[in-house]
Chain A
Amino acid sequence: MTPKTLFDKIWESHIVKEIDGGPSILYIDRHFIHEVTSPQAFGGLKRRGLKVFRPGKTFATCDHNVPTINQHEPIKDPLSAIPVEELRKNTAENGIRYFPLGDPSNGVVHIIGPELGLTQCGMTVVCGDSHTSTHGALGNIAFGIGTSEVEMVLATQTLLQTKPKQMLIRVDGPIKKGVCAKDVILYIISKLGTSGGTGHFLEFAGTTIEQLSMEERMTICNMSIEMGARGGLIAPDNTTFEYLKGREYSPGRKNIKKGKIVEQSEKGEQGEVGDEWNKAVESWCKLKSDPGCNYDSIHLFSAEEIEPMITYGTNPSMAVPVNSSIPEAHPEETGLYRALDYMGFEPGEKIAGHKVDYVFLGSCTNGRVEDFRAFVSLVKGRQKAPEVTAWLVPGSKRVEKQIEEEGLGEILRKAGFEVRQPGCSACLGMNDDKVPAGKYAVSTSNRNFEGRQGPGARTLLAGPLVAAAAAVTGVITDPRELI
C-alpha cells in the first residue's frame, strides 16, 4: 500500500467521478455562505430553474457588510442592507439554516463553523471566501471558491476540482515568550512569499504546531491563502477532539436534563455525548499522513527563530520582526518602492516607534476569545493611548458572550476600550469601520493590500500582543517590553 498524506486520504474518499484529462467531481460535505458572494449564485439557480440539491449541508451567516454597533437596529446603509436581506430571503426560500444578526450563533463565517461543530474532521468544506482555509485546522480539505462555484455546490453538492500539489510545512521547537501563532504564520509567509504556495495544498506539522490550541491552529490555517495556497490543514488529534466534543452540531451531542434534550448550558459548556461521538473519534484517529508519504515540496522552520512580527508593506509577505528594520530597497525593486511610498516608510527605517492611529482586534484570523485574552493580558492595568482609535470586534456572538463572562469586557472598558459586536468589520471596511486615507492601522486581520481597509489606508498586520502594545503606547512597540 502506497503511503498517503492526510490530504490524499480525504481527497480520494470524496471523489464521485474522475474525468479523462480533466478535473474530478468532488463531493462537498459542508458549505458555508455569506451575503456578499451568494446572491448571484441563488440568482443563477433561479434562472436555470434549479433547486438547492442538499439544503441541509449549507449554513449561512451575515458578516462582511454588517455594522459592529447597534446591531438591534435595521442596517442603516442601504447598499449593505440589501444583500443581507437577499440572504435572508434566499435561505428562507430554500430551507437553508441562517444565523442572522442578533442570533446567538451569528458571527464571522470562519469563526462560527468550528464553534458550532459544523466543521468537523476529514471533511471537504467550501465557502465563497478565500479564508475558508481556516477550517483546515480541524483536519479538513477546506478552500475558498468563487460565486459560480457557490452556484455549483448549491445545485449539485459537488465541484469540479483538479487535485493540487502538496506542500509540507514543519515548524519545530518551542515558541518564545511574547510570540504567538500569528507571528508564526507571518514569519512563514515572509520567507515563502505571496505565491510560494500557489498550486499547492499545505499541511502544517511539527512539535510547534502540535502544541498549539485549536484557535491558534485556525489562525495559522487561515492565512494559508496569503502565500497563494488553496488551503492548509493540520492532522486532528486529542486537542481537536476535545475542542469538538459536545458542540451543537458535533456527532453524538446531547444535553440531557430531565429526559429532554436542551440547549448548551448558560456557561457555554459543551454538552454530554453518546456513542455516536466515540464512533466519530475512532474514525477521525485514522486521519493522519502515513510515514514515508510524499509531498511535492517540504519546508522546515524552527520556532526559536520567530519573533513578534509586523508587516510594513502592501502584501502579507512584506513583514519583519517588530524590533528590526524595514529592508533596504534598490530603485529597480519597483514593487517594494511602490509599497514603501504608499506606506510612507523609508527603506532601512526602524519600524518600532512609528506612530499608530488605529488598532483593530478581530477578523476570522484573530477574533476569538484567546485573542481577546492575549490582548487583555497586555492592556490590563494600563490605559488606551488617547490618540488611538481602537476597534475590538469579537468574531461571533458566542465570543462576545464569553468576553463578558470571563470579565475581559470589564477590564477592557476600565482601560478605555470599547468592545463592539461581531462582524468582519475593519478587515476590509465594507461597513462603517474604515481606516481613513494616510492613517496607520495595526490590525490583527489578514491582508494589508493598498486600500484594503479604506482608500489610502495604511495597514500593518500583526498578532494580538503587538496590537495591544500599540494600543496602549500609541506607537509600534515590541510587546515583550510590556510583559
Chain B
Amino acid sequence: MSYRKFTIEESWAVTLPEEDLDTDQIIPARFLKTTTREGFGENLFYDRRFDSRGEVIKEFVLNRAKGSETILVAGRNFGCGSSREHAAWALADWGFRVVVSSFFADIFRSNALNNGLIPVQVSNGFLEKIFEYSNNNKGIILKINLMDKAISIPATGESENFEINSYKQNCLINGYDDIDYLASNLKEIEEYEVFKLSSL
C-alpha cells in the first residue's frame, strides 16, 4: 500500500513507560476478525483503555491524551509477541506516525515500516530523558527528522540520531512501497527460478 510521505514530524507525545508491551495488548485477538485494514484505531489498547464493564479507565495514558499526538513513546521491547500487522494498523489509524522506544521487536518493526509508522530506536539514556521530562513538565513535544535521522526535544535542544535502513528511508520520504519495487523485478525473479530448477 502506498503511504503518505514522511519528512519531519513535530508533535506532543503520548508516553507509556512500560516494557514488553506485546501486540496482544496493542490489539487483542478478538478484534482481528475484520477483513479490511481500516477502523482498528478505535480498538487500540482496548483492554487497557476500558475495563470489563466497558467503563473508561481514566488513569490510562491514552485516555488522558489530547488526541492530536502523532508520537508514542514506549518502554523497551515494544511490539513483542504475535506478528499481527493489525497492531501497526491500529497505531497508525489512531493517528500515530512515530513510535519511540529503546528496543523494538523485529516483526513489529517491519510491520510498522510497511505502514508508514516510523520505529525510532533511541538509547536507554535518551528514553529515560524523555520520560523524565514528560513527567516533570506534564508532557513533552518531540521532533523527528527522517532526512537527518534525528530525534530531538525542542524544549531542551537535546537530540540523538537513530538508525534506519537507507532503502526504507528513501521509500518513506517519497511515499513509495515495496510491492511496486518487487513487481518491477519480476523478470529477475523468473530468471532466478529458471536458474534454481536447472541446478537441481
Residues of chain A touching chain B, judged by Cβ–Cβ distance below 8 Å, are: 13, 16-17, 19, 21-23, 25, 27, 36-37, 39-40, 43-44, 48, 50, 53, 64-65, 79-80, 82-83, 86, 128-130, 144-149, 151-152, 155-158, 160, 162, 164, 194-195, 198-199, 225, 228, 230, 283, 315, 334-335, 338, 428-430, 437, 447, 449-452, 455-456
Q: Of all chain B residues, which has the CB nearest A424? A: B29
Give min CB distance, B32 to chain A, whole Å: 5
Set of chain A residues within 8 Å of B37, measured between Cβ atoms: 40, 43, 147
Cβ contact of A146, chosen from B88, B185, B186, B193, cutoff 8 A = B88
Q: A152-B182, A449-B24 are in contact. List 8 more A-B contacts (CB 8 A).
A: A156-B189, A157-B189, A195-B103, A198-B103, A228-B77, A428-B29, A451-B24, A451-B25
Contacts A82-B33, A149-B110, A195-B76; A17 near B185 (Cβ below 8 A): yes
Contacts A146-B114, A228-B105; A53 near B186 (Cβ below 8 A): yes
Size band of the interface chain B makes with A: 35 or more
Cβ contact of B167, chosen from A19, A50, A164, A315, cutoff 8 A = A19
Contact B24 A452 (CB under 8 A): yes
Q: Is B143 an interface residue (CB 8 A)?
A: no
Set of chain A residues within 8 Å of B69, measured between Cβ atoms: none
Contacts A146-B107, A146-B111, A452-B24; A22 near B165 (Cβ below 8 A): yes
Contacts A145-B107, A151-B179, A455-B47; A37 near B85 (Cβ below 8 A): yes
Q: How far does the alpha carbon of A338 sit from the alpha carbon of B193 in the complex, in Å?
A: 51
Stretch at the interface among B14-22, B57-65, B149-157: B14-22
Q: Is B178 an interface residue (CB 8 A)?
A: yes
Contact A198 B52 (CB under 8 A): no
Give min CB distance, A257 to chain B, whole Å: 29
Give min CB distance, B10 to chain A, whole Å: 27
Contact A147 B85 (CB under 8 A): yes
Q: Of all chain A residues, which has the CB nearest B112? A: A146
Set of chain B residues within 8 Å of A148, measured between Cβ atoms: 1, 85, 111, 114-115, 178
Contacts A40-B37, A158-B182, A455-B47; A450 near B167 (Cβ below 8 A): no
Contact B19 A82 (CB under 8 A): no
Contacts A82-B33, A152-B179; A228 near B83 (Cβ below 8 A): no
Contacts A195-B105, A198-B106; A160 near B181 (Cβ below 8 A): yes
Q: How far does the alpha carbon of A433 sit from the alpha carbon of B145 in the complex, in Å?
A: 46
Set of chain A residues within 8 Å of B198, measured between Cβ atoms: none
Set of chain B residues within 8 Å of A335, measured between Cβ atoms: 18-20
Cβ contact of A144, chosen from B35, B107, B181, cutoff 8 A = B107
Give min CB distance, A454 to chain B, whole Å: 9
Contacts A82-B33, A194-B20, A456-B52; A130 near B111 (Cβ below 8 A): no
Give min CB distance, B41 to chain A, whole Å: 15
Contact A130 B76 (CB under 8 A): no
Cβ contact of B179, chosen from A48, A195, A334, cutoff 8 A = A48
Contacts A335-B18, A430-B33; A27 near B192 (Cβ below 8 A): yes
Q: Is B30 an interface residue (CB 8 A)?
A: yes
Cβ contact of B83, chosen from A16, A129, A195, cutoff 8 A = A129
Give min CB distance, B180 to chain A, whole Å: 9
Q: How far does the alpha carbon of A437 sit from the alpha carbon of B51 in the complex, in Å?
A: 11
Set of chain B residues within 8 Å of A21, measured between Cβ atoms: 165-167
Q: How far does the alpha carbon of A434 sit from the alpha carbon of B198 in the complex, in Å?
A: 51
Q: Is B49 an interface residue (CB 8 A)?
A: no
Set of chain A residues within 8 Å of B136, measured between Cβ atoms: none
Q: Which of B32-84 contact A (CB under 8 A)?
A: 32-37, 47, 52, 76-77, 80-84
Contact A82 B82 (CB under 8 A): no
Q: Of all chain B residues, which has the CB nearest A456? A: B52
Cβ contact of A230, chosen from B30, B86, B106, cutoff 8 A = B106
Q: Which of B111-161 contact A (CB under 8 A)?
A: 111, 114-115
Contact B188 A17 (CB under 8 A): yes
Set of chain B residues within 8 Å of A145, measured between Cβ atoms: 83, 107, 110
Contacts A17-B188, A22-B165; A450 near B24 (Cβ below 8 A): yes
